[in-house]
Amino acid sequence: MLNDEARALFAGPNIAHIATLLPDGGPHSVPVMIDVDGEDLVFFTSPNSRKGRNLGADDRIAISVTDRENLVRSALVRGRVVKRIGGEAGWEIVDRIFAKYTGGPYPRGEDREAFFVEPAHVSVPTFG
């Protein structure tokens, strides 16, 4: 479960980085917009993106987020994608996350899905 400090970091407009596994087992890391939904983390991507395809083959994921106002404050999560939501319900989630960062809805064009991550391990390192 997310502790209060990790929850606050993921709920804020901080860019997260996710790491997934490539078909050859190598790591693939990219920045994402992210939010908290109940006890899960949620981000969005195209189902045909490299990260979407990676997660379709292996649902394990690592996520880090850094406080944009205090760069030594961060949270790290390992878990699994437990749900993907597309269609109109997915767009509602995508728009909510995108608006948190930009103030408006996500531009329509390519398909997007919301990916829900159940945290299995959470740490909030302290520095200094």
94, two tokens: 């995508």
The structure's pTM equals: 0.94
pLDDT at 92: 97
pLDDT at 100: 97
Q: Smallest Cα–Cα separation from 45: which of 90, 112, 121, 100?
A: 112
The share of the chain scoring above pLDDT 70, in percent, equals: 99
Q: Which residues pair with 18 in a beta bridge?
A: 30, 63
Whether residue 41 contacts residue 117, with contact meaning beta carbons closer than 8 Å, is answered with: yes
Q: What does the pLDDT average to over 116-121? A: 98
**pLDDT of 128 higher than 90:** no
